[in-house]
């Protein structure tokens, strides 16, 4: 059975920038894995694209992420937010990152694909994998 993998926002920004031929290959490879992200990632991704490229492109980005067949969205709940609060108290993670971290903890996901170096500063059992490194090893 494949390990669970959690994708952070910067992965989707990377993926959105790929050529369609390359994207098809990536999609096929990721369909063989157990890939998750938070609903919060959707918000962060759309907002990042909107800030960079405007509203029209952000709408295309929303359609893009919602149509990724391999991706499973995890809903937030009160328990995750409570753990997030504890993480905020005990680390230097930003509030949104603490929610991602809490989601990883609750769902027992040990692999995080991100270029956000803040996650590497926390002593834990989560393996932080850079986006390009993850893509090279697909």
| Calpha distance 136→63 (Å, rounded) | 26
Q: Could you tell me the pLDDT band of residue 1, with boundaries at 50, 70 and 90?
A: very low
Domain residue extents for the chain: 4-133
On whether the pTM is more than 0.75, the answer is yes
Please name the fold of domain 4-133: Rossmann fold (3.40.50)
Give pLDDT tens digits for 35-87: 999 999 999 999 999 999 999 999 999 999 999 989 999 999 999 999 999 99
* Residues in CB range of 109: below 8 A, 6 or more apart: 4, 5, 6, 36, 103, 126
Instruction: Look at phi and psi of residue 108 and say left if phi exceeds 0, alpha if psi is from -120 to 50, else beta.
Output: left
Q: What are phi and psi of 72, to 5 degrees?
A: -115, 125
Distances from the Cα of 119 to the Cα of 35, 44, 77, angstroms: 18, 17, 21
């Amino acid at each position: 059975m494949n390990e669970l993998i959690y994708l952070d926002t910067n992965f989707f920004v990377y993926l959105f920038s790929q050529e369609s031929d390359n994207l098809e290959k990536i999609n096929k490879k990721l369909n063989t894995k157990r890939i998750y992200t938070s609903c919060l990632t959707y918000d962060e991704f759309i907002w990042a694209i909107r800030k960079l490229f405007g509203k029209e492109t952000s709408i295309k980005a929303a359609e893009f992420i919602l149509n990724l067949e391999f991706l499973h969205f995890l809903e937030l709940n009160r328990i995750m937010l409570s753990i997030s609060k504890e993480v905020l108290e005990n680390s230097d993670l930003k509030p949104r990152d603490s929610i991602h971290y809490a989601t990883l903890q609750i769902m027992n996901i040990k692999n995080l694909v991100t270029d956000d170096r803040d996650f590497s500063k926390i002593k834990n059992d989560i393996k932080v994998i850079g986006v390009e490194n993850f893509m090279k090893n697909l």
